[in-house]
């Protein structure tokens, strides 16, 4: 007669899972779910700035007709920058030049040599940096001295008769 074979010595039939195996597998599955959830949120946090639209922060410098033709004007402004829920303000300045009162050029106020502030010398009709005797023309081009390139410029536009700049320096070669 055939008798069903019974497990001997505490062996379990292959179709049954013991309590220890069940708890081990359940713990591993739960740890995997938690790891996947944390990884997905962490990955989303790091790549989300790539999908956010950034607004250009144009700064209003005033009425366009207030800038005298042929005489560079140093204009101070407050630049606001928003980072998530924090808004910070930074005081800055720009040199604005116009030859006809219609087209404008604005320059970053720092010398392209070592970042020193420069000034306008009305007698010589040039921008002069006192740090290393750098001299720039009214168009921002290097006349003499050690600067490696012309003055950096800001983008400008006139909107509703107001002069606006985008205070992000564009390096000119």
pLDDT one digit per residue (tens) for the chain, 173 residues: 555 556 566 665 666 788 888 999 999 999 999 999 988 888 888 787 677 666 668 888 988 888 888 889 999 988 887 776 677 888 889 999 998 888 899 999 998 888 889 999 999 999 999 888 899 999 999 999 898 999 999 999 998 999 999 887 666 65
DSSP conformation class of 60: E
With beta carbons less than 8 A apart as the criterion, state whether 132 and 115 touch. no
Domain extent listing, the chain: 19-49, 59-170
Residue carrying structure tokens 């081990």: 24
Say what the pTM is: 0.65
Is 59-170 CATH 2.102.10.10? yes
């Amino acid at each position: 007669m055939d008798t069903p074979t019974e497990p001997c010595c505490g062996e379990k039939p292959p179709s049954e899972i013991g309590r220890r195996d069940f708890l081990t597998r359940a713990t591993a599955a739960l740890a995997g779910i938690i790891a996947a959830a944390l990884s997905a949120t962490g990955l989303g946090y790091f790549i989300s700035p790539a999908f956010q639209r950034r607004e250009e922060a144009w700064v209003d410098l005033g009425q366009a007709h207030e800038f005298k033709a042929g005489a560079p004007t140093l204009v101070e402004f407050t630049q606001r920058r928003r980072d998530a829920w924090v808004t910070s303000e930074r005081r800055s300045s720009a040199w604005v030049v116009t030859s006809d009162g219609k087209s404008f050029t604005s320059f970053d106020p720092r010398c392209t040599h070592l970042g020193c502030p420069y000034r306008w010398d009305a007698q010589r009709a040039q921008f002069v940096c006192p740090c290393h005797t750098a001299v720039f023309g009214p168009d921002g081009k290097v006349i003499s001295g050690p600067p490696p390139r012309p003055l950096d410029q800001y983008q400008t536009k006139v909107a509703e008769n107001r002069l606006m700049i985008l205070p992000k320096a564009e390096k000119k070669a």
